[in-house]
Structure 1
Amino acid sequence: MRRNSKSRPIYVELDIHTDMDKLWAYTQTAELHEQWDLRFSNIAYLPRKSEGSPQHFRYETRIGFGLRISGTGRTKSAIHRVTGVRLSTLAFGSEQPISLIRHGAGYWQYRPKPNADSITFLTKYDYATRFGVWGQWFDRLLFRPLFGWATAFSFDVLRLWLEKQIPPAVSLQRTVLHYMCVLLLSFLWLYEGLVPKWLFPEAGELAIMQGIHLFPGTELLALKWLGGAEIVLGFIQLLYHRSAHIYGLQLFGLVVLSAGALINAPLLLTHPFNPLVLSAAMVGLNLAGLWTCRDLPDAGRCIRTQGEWKR
């Protein structure tokens, strides 16, 4: 197969604590495979022509806006009798003019780990593209990194299914919910730190700080320090959203900030968007983020370069 120049094949490797037969079934059965693999929306095996012949299949991928990419492929499997290593080779392609991938090939390998109850599951594949030089650049800059990430993310979805019995649909729903909470929380902290405390303190935040009487004569400076802390917390939320500790820190901060403001200025409760309303919403987002931060699929768990060692 002639591949795009200077483009490295996609490689993904992951250790999964399961037995060989179960992993084989979840990856070689079309109805199970399409549930965990983000690259495919539907996979349908075609009748074999004869015993031992390659397994032909059709695949379909929804790319949004009602568009679908469909193609065909064939796969063939082999088992090494001595080592127990299994290999499944794959060739695929699409005749659709809108498909960036013209044709490709690769393999899945299943390596039992000695003295361990796990299997090293890995894939390596490459493909040729359409649309000439423009297609090659689009593939190199965007599509190939995204496709590689989707492969690694899917492998970890499969791991969670096999190791912790978390169905792929549940993993994907929790992932969407978690990142929605993370992005909203980060936005709120960044906005609250920057806009009312740094850019427009006279709009109300400065008066609240003056009403507390804790920083006589330096209220504006204290307000800016508080805003800076909220901005930093917004970035920390983005970076460490998988840690339960960050949500405890935020909950503590929300309680302190809202209680301090309402105790010293109880009339704020009469305002349509007061500290209690905002804090209650942020507490809800924090709890949702906390409950979904564990056992999330993570593409970073996979080895992405052949020969790489990962703890």
Structure 2
Amino acid sequence: MDGSLAGAPGRHRRTALVTGGGRGLGFEVARALAEQGAHVVLACRSTERGRAAAARIGGRTDVVHLDLASLDSVRRAAAEVVDRYERLDLLVNNAGVMFPSRRRTEDGFEPHFGVNHLGHFALTGLLLCLMRQVPGSRVVTVASLAHRVGAGPLDETRARAADGHRSLAAYGRSKRANLLFARELQHRLAGSGAETVSVAAHPGLSATELWQGQTPAWLRPVSRGALHLLAQPPVRAALPVLRAATDTLLPGGSYLGPGERFESRGAPAPAASSRASRDALAQVRLWELSTALTGVTYGPSPSRSRADGPPAPAGR
């Protein structure tokens, strides 16, 4: 695959939903999919921003209001999508927060965990009815290099903490949760005979609006230096996500990222991830916790012994 979004395989005559598609990485992914002929749905917290983005993208582009910090909003958005569309070929779980101002979500969750993981867990579960029987359909979950710094357990205490909104560790835990979720979802989809597959990708380093939150003072010089030396523009940072979304040869369980400079930039390639993000027991425990906290169930799924190893991902 070359270094431009125009060189990506297409999604002609298919429907794709991109969370956070109104700006940054999500906008670039949505625009590329639309250019390749997809019917794109932008799921955005700000419908005004979403409509402006849809006008810039053109083609068949719709907007749905989605606030991942509210499970009520997630349910309303999913109900609207199910009502409006007969099928969904692609779900890109892209939207996220980093160092937000709020201490908890509407439902009382630490905001990184609530928005980046629980909101997407609920949304995916509510939309799978449009995907399970669609050949070639896939869920793409956007992770981060920061998953490696997410120390600490993923439990209900952490999920409801009030001191994580300006914590790099809390952000990292939410991105570890993204990877655990993507891998457990693939295990369950494969075991249930669904047509849908689950893959993950990360963009490396890119100076998107995600960095415009209330970054802790100690991290600001570090982040400025890293972004200056290693970051790539959103149009290139979107490439691993776009390939994960469109490469029909990519098997379920794959994880992609930029292939150069410690995975900070470059063309898409298989990405490495921490041992903690590949822990099969942690995948099951997070799934059970997420089901309990959101009230969203995915229906019958294959059981997995807690002694089983993790599903074998493509790449490293």
TM-score bracket, normalised by the shorter chain, equals under 0.3
Question: Normalized per residue, which structure has more helix?
Answer: 1
Bigger CA radius of gyration: 1
Structure number with the higher strand fraction is 1
TM-score (norm 1): 0.27
